[in-house]
Every structure is written in C-alpha cells, then in structure tokens.
A and B are shown apart, each in its own frame.
Chain A
Amino acid sequence: MPTVHSLDRVVIRFAGDSGDGMQLTGDRFTADSASFGNDISTLPNFPAEIRAPQGTLPGVSSFQVHFANYDIMTPGDRPDVLVAMNPAALKANIADLPPGGVIIADTAEFTKRNLTKVGYEDDPLTDDTLADYQVHSLDLTGMTVAAVKEFGLNRKDSSRAKNMFALGLLSWMYNRPTEHTLSFLAEKFAKVPAIRDANITAYKTGYAFGETTEAFAVRYEVAPAPMPPGDYRQISGNVAMAYGLMTGAQKSGLPLFLGAYPITPASDVLHELSKHKRFGVTTFQAEDEIAAVGAALGASFAGHLGVTTSSGPGIALKAETVGLAVMTELPLVVCDIQRAGPSTGMPTKTEQSDLLQVMYGRNGEAPVPVLAAQSPSDCFNTAVEAVRIAITYRTPVVVLSDGYLANGAEPWQVPDLSTIEPIDPGFATETNGVDAKGNPIFLPYKRDQQTLARPWAIPGTAGLEHRIGGIEKDAETGNVSYDPANHEAMVRTRQAKVDGIAAALPELAVDDPSGDARVLVLGWGSTYGPITAAVRRVRATGRSVAQTHLRHLNPFPRNLGEVLRSYDKVIVPEMNLGQLAMMLRSKYLVDIQSYSRVRGLPISLSELAVDLESEIDSLSGAEAQA
C-alpha cells in the first residue's frame, strides 16, 4: 500500500492537444475537489483555434486547478503536477514546472513523428532531460483502449477516453470522490451507451490502476478547507454574471432582454441566459454588436431590462449606442468580458485593457458608471449592483469582467436571494408639470432631486407620450434644444448624476492589519486574487503592507483620495499599461506607482510578492540612508 501524505495545497495542470478533452478533465477534477470541500481556483488556457493542427505547440490546451485546505486566491503560478498527453503539451508547459515536480506522460503519443513535430530530437521521457522531475511514463492510450475493448468502438473512439483514464488516476492519487463524475458521465453521454460506458470504464480503470500499480509510492490527501457554514457550489464568472443579471431582473420585476453577438470570451453569458427563458428572459442574437446593444436599448425604452454582453472589439462597436443611452437616460447594462487587445489581440487570453475604453471611448461628455468584478463568483454581486444602478439612475452601466474570471471557477457560497433588496423601476404613470396654459403635461427630463434620475415613462402609458433621442434636449421638456446655456447645464447635470452615485456607495475599506503599513497596494477586477495572495506572502515575511480593491471605477468611492494620501507609496498592479494608475493620478494628483503586466495571463503572485517586498524595503532603506 502506498503511504498517504497530507498536503495543504496542490496545483495540477492537465495539458494535451485541443481535441484531447483537457478542459472537461480539468472541470471534473475541479468539481470533485470542490464538492469534497477544498477551496479551488482554476485557469483554463486554450488556443483560439478550435482544432489547431494536431500535436503542435499552438494546439496545446491546458487546464490548471489549484485546490487547498485553506482559502486560496489564485490558480497558482506553477503546477506541482503536469499531466502531458503528448510531446507538445510537455514542451509547452515544462518551463513552468519547478524542479521536483511530477510529470505524468502518455508514452503512446511520444512517437518519433510527434516528437519531431515539436522539435524534440530525442524522447525526453527516456533521455536525461527530465532528470530533475519525477516522471511517470505511462501508456495511457494503450491501457484505455484495452480497458474499453468490450464496447466495440474503433481505435480512435476508444483512445478518446484516455482523458478519463488520466482523470481516474489523478482522482486516486489525490483521494477525490468519484460519484459526481460517474453520474456526470452517465448523463453527458446518455444518448450513446458505448461512449458512455467507455468513458466510465476508462475513468474507473485509471483509478484502479493507481491502486494496483506499484508505480506510485505516495498518495496524497488535501483536507477540506474551513469555510463559513452554508450551501456551496462551484461557479465560473460567466455563469455568475448570467445569474446576477437574472437576479437583478427578478428583483426589479422587469423581463430581461439580452442583445448579444457571439464573441470570445463573452458568449457563455449568452448561452447561459438563453437556457432560462422561463424566467422571462429574451435572448436576441443580433446581426452585429451594434444591433445587439441597439435592440437592448429599444427593449429598455419599452420597459424591459436591456442588457448587452461582449468583449473589447464589440464594446468599441457599441460605443455610439452607449452614448445614445447616456443621452436618452435609459437603463442599460453593458458587460465587457475583457480579453487581450488591441484589435483581435488574443481572444482567449485575459487582460484589463478596456478600462479607458469604457470610461472615455465615446464622443462628447458621456459619463458612464463602471464596475468591476474581482472574482468569478463576484460577477454575480457586480451584475446585481449594476442593474440596481442602471435602473435607479436611468443610465447605462458598464460591468467589467475578463477572460480569467469568465472561465475560471471557484467555490461560491450561494446567497439567499431573499436577502437582496428589491429594485424599484418606478415607472412614471402621471404627468409631472403644467404647460403655459396650466394644462398638465409630462416633462420627460424633469429630474428626481436626489438621484438626478429622469422619469421612465414606458410606451403604453396614456398621457405621457414623449420623444427622446440623441440630440441635445431641453432640461425639462426633452424637446430639441440648441440653447448654449441649456447644453452646458445638461452636460454638467449628466456628469453630476453619475458623480452623485458615489454618495450612495460605501466608503472604500483598507486592509491594513498591522496598522503601520506605508505601502498600499490598490487593484481592481481580477487582479484581486494574485494581489491578495502576494500581500499574504509579504506579510508572512514580517513586512507591513496595506491592500484595497476597487469595485467602483466610476464614480470612485468618496474617500478614495484620502486613502491614497494616507500612504507613502501606492502601487497599482494591472494587466494593462497603467490605465487605472492614470485615472488616479489625474483625479487625485497622487504619484501612483504603476505595476504592469500584459502577458495574457493573470499577474504572477510570486513575482508580485517579491517586487512588493523590494518596494517596501527600498522605502525603509531610503530612510535609513537619509
């Protein structure tokens, strides 16, 4: 019997050809780990090509899962275990594996031809190149084909179950529960019994292989992480976003209308919402990005909750219509699931480089509230809040997510929806003014004094007929107006309305446990995980560092200036060239230090931790010299 070692945390990377089913394998391992009670964080990484040439480096698809017995913040920088289904997968990922790491490789794919394809002259599994690692060379394909022989599949179909063999083996190694994956496979392949049985058998055989072979001397255990009591599930950012939008619609009593055009990595929000029509959700796959947002705005005009989802290139196309929504002051939620740009950029890779686009990428003075989610499950909260702001203030609102949050998954304590405050659409039903003759009239731009929101009178309401549009309008009647003073007042009022949202927002809280930190790390969006993990690491060395994270990028929290000025040094890590840093500098005249990484990947926590340590040390060092 192998010995069982207890570990706090493990990072596994499943890597193979894009047709090898690595995303599914990683997903299942994650689900089983989550249901076991570990904290988890995942990083799927796949090529934009659906099927890049087989066995090549561009065709490698991987899925990294980090699971632990404590609350973890990132999918991990470097894997402990690399499952390499072919030479390309090994070559593309080996640099990330620290010495001593475990490699499990499928020898069946390490043929002369496949090795040559990726530039290996000799087989790395048999020469000395991998001497620093613990290598398990296994004929995963061969064992899978032999195990599923009885189901009469051809060799190609038989060998396709090898990912389940690998999953079974890893599930044995890490003591994962198996019942969920077994029922998942039974359901997923219910229509093709031979495939279903082959996958189940491959999975079970992989597990049994671990148990019977003597190749593995150690088996590992990662105990459940302590978590607050409650009901949990695993959730990805895009699904959380869809549920948040639906919850916002439910809470406001409005039907949800999504206009969307397929785009990576946002399409899954469209897919998810299109499944839930019974909740009054209409999904419109438009002819283009412009029509998607146009139809959503039309639906809002008609009294629905208009939503559009996209990524950077699509958001660029929607800009003019978002401007129209600013002018017509109608609720609209615009979700930007950012990806690496510019232009087409790297569609399947993550980045935070649309901040300035959504803030300023419109003609005229066109302020729009902007919120950013900080983790996959936080997409839910952010979406609900965006709906609340859009409806309360009659304004388009941008929600920023990114590819890392969209596809990444984590455990989520499912909220009790009844604890979420209702949202009152407060449709106008009566006239709100009188004309020169004293007759009651409707003034579509006469504002609520507190929120500066205008009345939302929907078609079908008798007596409130009115016209809106993109032309500047009179401050009350909404009629076309080219009056200079009126335009100035309207420009300033639209800005004041958005600025005024800050009054209703909580103040920004800073995490500074020692109370004597002189360096503040400030982030936004998906860098929350890496920053938090890096900050913990820095604090573990005895250094003090403060951390805070912005959900609201427009308007900023009321006390942000004060927070920034309370520290000697403010470091802003971003996956762009310093977009938030620029906004902070211009607004608060504080010398923000930008920390930029644009590799299409989340910021490395270990790199950030080291860099933060030297920043902290340089501050105290400079003083020692002075």
Chain B
Amino acid sequence: MSSNTVTPPERKGLLGVPLSVEPLTRKDFTSDQEVRWCPGCGDYAILAAFLGLMPELGIRRENTVIVSGIGCSSRFPYYVDSYGMHSIHGRAPAIATGVATAREDLAVFVVTGDGDALSIGGNHLIHALRRNVNVTILLFNNRIYGLTKGQYSPTSETGKVTKSTPLGSVDAAFNPLSVALGAEASFVARSVDSDRKHLTEVLTAAAAHRGSSFVEIYQNCPIFNDGAFDEIRGRDSAEDALIRLQHGEPIVFGTDDRLGVRRDRDTGALEIVETSEVAVSDLVVHDAHAEDPSYAFALSRLTSVGELTRAPIGILRSVERPAYDDQAREQVTIASGGVTADEAQLQQLVLGKDTWTVAG
C-alpha cells in the first residue's frame, strides 16, 4: 500500500501554468454575467465551490481555460471570468484536447453533463481519458436532460418515466465512474453538489493531477429530477448512503461507522458488511494509488443501481501515467532540438531531394 497522500504535494497538473503575482480572490474569477440557472439548481453550489477554489490554485486567471459542451451545466464558462468556450454538444473534451496540446501554460477545465459527456459525447470522453490529456473534467450528473425539458439521460435509472418515456425507460444506465475507469482514466473521483468542503477538496486534487482528471458531481435538478439525490443528501440518510473514501484509511461509513467494505475472498468483489460482524483487519483499506484499476472498478460498483441509495464518494483512483499533451509536445521539441526550423530549412524541405534545374 502506498503511503503517498492523494493530493500530490507538487502541483503537477498545473506545472507550466504561470502563477499569479498578486493573490487573486473569488471576485477576480467572477464574471459580469448574470447567472441563469433555475432557482435551487445544484449548479449554483458547484459554481460557488469552483470560484472559491480557483484563487487557491495560485495560477493566473488569464491562463485558465474552461471548455464546455451543451446543456445546463455547459453555461458554466460564462460565469467565470477566465478564457472560455461554450462549444457544441458533446465535443468539449475534443476541443479541450486541442487547447491543452497546443499550450502547456494553460490550466484547462472541461465542464459537462451526463447527456453531454456520456451520450452524444461519449466517444470524446473515453478517448480523452485514454490519452490522459492534461485536463480536469467536471461531469455534472443530474440524471436527466434539463435544458431540453426533462427527457431521460444515460444515467437515469431504468424504468424512469419522463416526457420521452411515458411507460418508463427500458435503457440500462451508465455508471460514470465505471465508464471512466474502463477508459483507463488515471484520476477518477466523485463528489456531491451540496458538500462544498468535499467538492473543493476533490476538485483541488483533480486540478493538481497531471493527466485527465475525471470528477463526477452529483447535482440535483429541482425542476425535472428533483429528489434524485435525496438519500445521499438527506440529513438523516446521508451517513448510511455515502461511502466516504479516504486514502490509507479503512473504508467505513454510516452512523458510528457501523458499515464497512470487505473483499469477498471467492469472487474478489467488494461487499458491504456490518463492521460489528467482521474483524477490523478484514476491512478494505482504501488505496487510491493501486495500479490495478479493478480495485477502483469494484469500488465504483458499490454505487446502487436504480434509485440512488448508496454511493462511494472521494477519489477512487489517482495514478501517474504520461500525459498525451506532454508527450506530443516533447516529440515536437525533440524533433526541432528546441529550435523550430526556420524558413531556409522549409525551403530546403520543399525543394526536396530530386530537384532539377532548368537553366535560363
């Protein structure tokens, strides 16, 4: 088991991004645009947490880029006074890949939703994660299509009755963390809109991670899917519903830590047990740095299927692996020896080897 802390002491994910000379405040990152989400939308809380943590990262505001797709969550860039692009449905990870690869000195964030990232943009999401492009992806999961007024999404539970599924959806849902882990993501985490402290911690660690950081944020839609997260947000129910992961700590949760996670010796799957029924040594100690992703995958499967009644939150996986953009830039640097070839060299290339001269 690794003894490293989950948040790297260095700001690896932000290496190359210039630091602000003057300390910045939340106000510096707040744009002049009126925020136009519905009253009570979970997006407000996420925006507040984001605006709160940005000054803490210490980077320059002008070197921050937020790319989003389409959907309620994707209005996010308008509300942050940095560089930003509100792009097209599903394509934010692709556009962000271009931004991040072109410029090492930019901190790149992708803000997306469950429909944007997992339905129309599923391909770009998995390939960004596979390549490990140095971007931080915030997936606001409200388990519904909000902007188009309430159709079921790829994370909606089977049987969901919506405008487009009057008899109930017959789709099986995605578990976003399982998808990310299957796509070889090097950093996979989950948080909840209503838990500002936890969200801030997770997003700070995600920004500090070099490579793709994937953060699923449970976000309540009060208009079209209100109550979807009541169990995990409720004052009484949350303790038993949320499995809070802490690197290096045994996984226990519930009132007085009455529940824990144990590995089934026969199947290798993780299961939830009453801590009073098992030896402490039988409880799984969380290792976010485990190289083998099957452990994190097993953790992701502790999420309840259907109605959300149980979910692990925190950092499931954080491992180091080379980032796509770093390597792409390195190839350019090595090929040029650090000095980009000039026009005379281009002239030579264009002339080629098999040149003949017609005399005047």
A461 at the interface (CB under 8 A from B): yes
Report B244 CB to chain A, min CB distance, Å. Answer: 35
For window 343-357 of B, CB contacts with A under 8 Å fall at: 343, 345-347, 349-352, 354-357
B211 lies within 8 A of chain A by Cβ: no
Q: Does B175 contact A (CB under 8 A)?
A: no
Write the A442-482 contact mask toward B (1 if CB under 8 angstroms, else 0).
Answer: 00000000000000000111111111111100000001100
* Bound: A460/B91 CA distance, A: 23
CA distance A462 to B60 in the complex (A): 8
Which residues of the partner chain B approach A470 to less than 8 Å between Cβ atoms? 70, 86-88
Q: Can you list 14 A-B contacts (CB < 8 A)?
A: A233-B351, A284-B97, A286-B127, A294-B95, A298-B96, A304-B102, A321-B91, A414-B350, A414-B351, A417-B343, A459-B83, A465-B62, A467-B77, A468-B85
Residues of A within 8 A of B335 (CB): 277-278
Instruction: Name the residue on B nearest A280 (C-beta).
Output: B340
Q: Which residues 293-316 of A have a CB within 8 angstroms of B?
A: 294-304, 306
Tell me, yes or no, whether A282 is within 8 Å of chain B by CB.
yes
Decide: A257 and B123 in contact? CB cutoff 8 A: no
Give the contacting residue for B99; candidates A287, A323, A459; CB below 8 A: A459
Report whether B95 and A298 are in contact in the complex, using a CB–CB cutoff of 8 Å. yes
Whether A233 touches B354, Cβ cut-off 8 Å, given contacts A302-B103, A464-B62, is: yes
A243 within 8 A of B: yes
- A320 nearest CB across to chain B (Å): 5
**What's the Cα separation between A329 and B84 when bound, in Å?**
14
Name B82-111 residues within 8 Å CB distance of A: 82-88, 91, 94-103, 105-106
B82-A465 in contact (CB<8A): yes
Whether A324 and B341, one on each chain, are in contact in the complex, defined by CB atoms closer than 8 angstroms, is no
* Chain B hits for A206, CB < 8 A: none
Q: Is the CB of A302 within 8 A of B106?
A: yes
- Closest chain-A Cβ to B131's Cβ sits at a distance in Å of 9
Residue in A290, A301, A479 whose CB lies within 8 Å of B94: A290
Q: Does B81 contact A (CB under 8 A)?
A: yes
- Whether A298 contacts B349 by the Cβ 8 Å rule is no
Interface centre among B33, B61, B127, B355 (most CB of A within 10 A): B355
A226-244 CB contact bits vs B (8 Å, 1 = yes)? 0111111111000000010
Q: Which residue of B lies closest to A380 (CB)?
A: B350
B297 touches A (CB below 8 Å): no
The minimal Cβ–Cβ distance linking B77 to chain A, given in whole angstroms, is 5
A539 to B151, CA, bound (A): 67
**Is there contact, CB below 8 Å, between B88 and A321?**
yes
Binds B, one of A31-39, A132-140, A508-516, A582-590: A31-39
The contact of A460 among B31, B63, B340, by CB within 8 Å, is B63
B61 lies within 8 A of A465 (CB): yes
Q: Which residues of A contact B337 (CB under 8 A)?
A: 278
A197 to B298: give the CA distance in the assembly, Å.
59
Shortest Cβ distance from residue B83 to the other chain A in the assembled complex, whole angstroms: 4
List A residues at the B interface (Cβ < 8 Å): 31, 34-35, 37, 180, 227-235, 243, 246-247, 250, 255, 257, 259, 276-282, 284, 286-288, 290-291, 294-304, 306, 320-321, 323-324, 328, 414-418, 459-471, 479-480
A467 touches B78 (CB 8 A): yes
Are B98 and A295 neighbours in the complex by a CB distance under 8 Å? yes
Bound CA–CA A417/B343 (angstroms):
7
Asked if residues B62 and A324 are in contact (CB atoms below 8 Å), the reply is no
Are B63 and A278 neighbours in the complex by a CB distance under 8 Å? no
| Interface flag for B332 (CB, 8 Å) | yes
Q: Check if A414 sits within 8 Å of B355, measured CB to CB.
A: yes
Contact, CB under 8 Å: A461 / B62: yes
Q: How many angstroms between the C-alpha atoms of A276 and B335 in the bound complex?
A: 8
Nearest A-chain residue to B67, judged by Cβ? A298
A-B pairs, top 5 by smallest CB distance, nearest first, are A298-B98, A469-B86, A294-B94, A229-B360, A295-B98
Asked if B294 is an interface residue, CB under 8 A from chain A, the answer is no
A291 touches B124 (CB 8 A): yes
Q: Are A320 and B97 in contact (CB under 8 A)?
A: no
Q: Is A247 in contact with B350, judged by CB distance below 8 angstroms? A: yes
Residues of A near B278 (CB, < 8 A) are: none
Given A295-B101, A460-B63, A460-B105, the answer on whether A467 and B86 have CB atoms closer than 8 Å is yes
On whether the beta carbons of B62 and A282 are closer than 8 Å, the reply is no
Q: How far is the CB of A279 from chain B (nearest CB, A)?
A: 5
A37-B358, A277-B336 given; A287·B124 CB < 8 A: yes
Check if B65 is an interface residue, CB within 8 A of chain A: yes
Contact with A along B119-149 (1 / 0, CB 8 A): 0000110010000000000000000000000
User: A327 → chain B, closest Cβ, in Å?
Assistant: 9
Residues of A within 8 A of B103 (CB): 302-303, 459-460
Minimum Cβ distance to chain A for residue B23 (Å) = 15
Determine which of A247, A255, A277, A479 lies in contact with B102 in the assembled complex, contact meaning CB atoms within 8 Å: A255
* A180, A298, A300 — most chain B CB neighbours (10 Å): A298
| C-alpha gap A230/B359 in the complex (Å) | 7
Q: A278-B337, A281-B332 are in contact. Are A467 and B84 (CB under 8 A)?
A: yes
Complex: A291 Cα to B61 Cα, angstroms: 27
From residue B161, how far is it (CB to closest CB) to chain A in Å? 31
Contact check, B62 vs A460: say whether CB atoms are below 8 A apart: yes
Query: Which of B83, B87, B349, B350 touches A466 (beta carbons < 8 Å)?
Result: B83
Alpha-carbon separation in the docked complex, A298 to B77 (Å): 15
The complex places the Cα of A302 from the Cα of B62 at a distance, in Å, of: 12
Let me know if A180 and B60 touch, CB within 8 A: no
Determine whether B331 belongs to the interface, using a CB cutoff of 8 Å to chain A.
yes
Residue from the list B102, B345, B352 in contact with A233, Cβ < 8 A: B352
Kindly report which residue of chain B lies nearest to residue A225, judged by CB atoms: B358
Bound CA span A299–B65, Å: 12
Question: Do B359 and A294 touch across chains, with their CB atoms under 8 A apart?
Answer: no
Give complex CA distance A291, B77 in Å.
Answer: 20
Over the window 318-352 of chain B, the binary record of Cβ atoms lying under 8 Å from chain A Cβ atoms (1 yes, 0 no) is: 00000000001101100111001101011101111
Q: Which residues of B are found within 8 Å of A282, using beta-carbon distances?
A: 101-102, 328-329, 332
**Complex contacts, A465 vs chain B, CB 8 Å:** 61-62, 81-83
Bound: A243/B345 CA distance, A = 12
Q: Mark B260-287, 1 if CB is under 8 A from A, else 0.
A: 0000000000000000000000000000
Chain A residues within 8 Å of B102, by CB: 255, 257, 282, 298-299, 302-304
**CB-CB nearest in chain A for B347:** A417
B355 contact from A228, A231, A468, Cβ within 8 A:
A231
Residues of A contacting B100 in the complex (Cβ-Cβ under 8 angstroms): 298
In the assembled complex, the Cα of A279 lies from the Cα of B347 at a distance in Å of 12
A479 to B79, CA, bound (A): 11
- Smallest Cβ-Cβ distance to A479: which chain B residue: B33
Residues of A within 8 A of B358 (CB): 37, 227-230, 232
Q: How far is the CB of A203 from chain B (nearest CB, A)?
A: 17
- Which chain B residue lies CB-closest to A320? B88
**Nearest chain B CB to A367 CB, angstrom units:** 18
B98→A299 contact, CB < 8 A: yes
Residues of A within 8 A of B81 (CB): 465
List B residues 46-67 near A (Cβ within 8 Å). 60-65, 67
> In whole angstroms, how far apart are the Cα atoms of A134 and B123 in the complex?
58
A257 touches which one: B63, B101, B340, B360 (CB < 8 A)? B101
B232 CB to nearest chain A CB (Å) = 32
Known contacts A294-B87, A298-B99; 10 further A-B pairs (Cβ under 8 A): A31-B354, A277-B332, A290-B91, A295-B101, A298-B94, A324-B87, A415-B350, A465-B83, A469-B86, A479-B78
* A301-B85 contact, Cβ under 8 Å, with A34-B356, A284-B97, A460-B106: yes
Set of chain A residues within 8 Å of B336, measured between Cβ atoms = 277-280
Evaluate contact between A231 and B127: CB separation under 8 angstroms.
no
Taking a contact as CB atoms under 8 Å apart, the answer to whether B350 and A291 are in contact is: no
Give the CA-CA distance A257 to B88 in the complex, in Å.
20
B215 to chain A, nearest CB (A): 20
CB distance from A334 to the nearest CB of B (A): 14
- Complex partner residue of A294 from B60, B98, B328, CB under 8 angstroms: B98
Q: Which residues of A contact B82 (CB under 8 A)?
A: 465
Residues on the B chain within 8 Å of A297, using CB = 95, 98
Rounded to whole angstroms, the CA-CA distance of A303 and B105 in the bound complex is 12
Q: Are A278 and B98 in contact (CB under 8 A)?
A: no
